[in-house]
Amino acid sequence: MSLRFAQILSYILHPAIIPSLGAFLILNVIPEHITSEQIRYTTAFVFLSTYIVPAAFSLIMRQMGMIQSLHMSDAKDRRYPFMVSIVFFAFTGYTLYNNGVAMEIVAVLAASAVTLLIFLAFLSVTKLSVHLAGMGGLTATVLYLSYTYHLMLLETLALAVLLSGLLGTARLKLKAHTTFQILSGYGIGLACTFIAFHLLEFV
């Protein structure tokens, strides 16, 4: 894998985009009557509040000198952006919950927030891969939807697994993480999302 391709893949599959992809997938496959307009508005809201707004905050923090780089290669640069993302994940999930939007999306957002909390707790020890955590969460989402709604999503699952492998390779190529950090990130994202979906049974 070339360095350039690794960089492009890391940008395309940025972890902040995963909640939007998850929301779009969920709204398109759950067996409920949802109009295309509702899908567009909900996905746009998730994208705005979990990607655009946190990204804007990161830019502001960079300008203020609170973080040294938007790439957050240094673990200490992750602290404040993680906190901002956690707040907006929680806000988005709460807003969607109050508006009766598919609970699966709320579960994905809750899992994302908890995953970042875990990563935040371990920042002083290791820099776990948020990229792979996102892919782990997306893979768990496909598995859950397939099992719960008896859907044939083998191609989607295969794509999620393939992209996870490619992204893991890309992060190694860029020397952004160790193999342990990549596998741990993927596992935590996968586990948190599965647990969040399981807890839906008690809501």
Q: Is 29 exposed, middle or buried (0-12, 13-18, 19+ CB in 10 A)?
A: middle
For the chain, which residues score pLDDT lower than 50? none
Rg, Å, the chain Cα set: 16
Instruction: Write out pLDDT tens, residues 118-135.
Output: 999 998 888 899 999 999
- What is the C-alpha to C-alpha distance for residues 159 and 180, in angstroms, rounded to an integer? 23
8 A C-beta contact, residue 20 and residue 46? yes
- Report domain extents, the chain: 3-202
Instruction: Write out pLDDT tens, residues 90-117.
Output: 999 999 999 988 899 999 999 999 999 9
Residue 67 backbone zone (phi > 0: left; psi -120 to 50: alpha; other: beta): beta
- What is the C-alpha to C-alpha distance for residues 102 and 29, in angstroms, rounded to an integer? 11
pLDDT at 75: 66
Give 79's contacts (C-beta < 8 A, 6+ positions apart): 120, 123
pLDDT at 72: 67
pLDDT at 73: 66
pLDDT at 162: 96
Q: Distance of CA 146 to CAs 25, 62, 95, 177, 201, Å?
A: 11, 41, 26, 31, 16
| This prediction's pTM | 0.90
One-letter amino acid of 187: G
Half-sphere CA count of 131, side-chain side, radius 13 A: 30
pLDDT at 31: 72
For residue 107, give both structure tokens.
């579960």
8 A C-beta contact, residue 171 and residue 132? yes
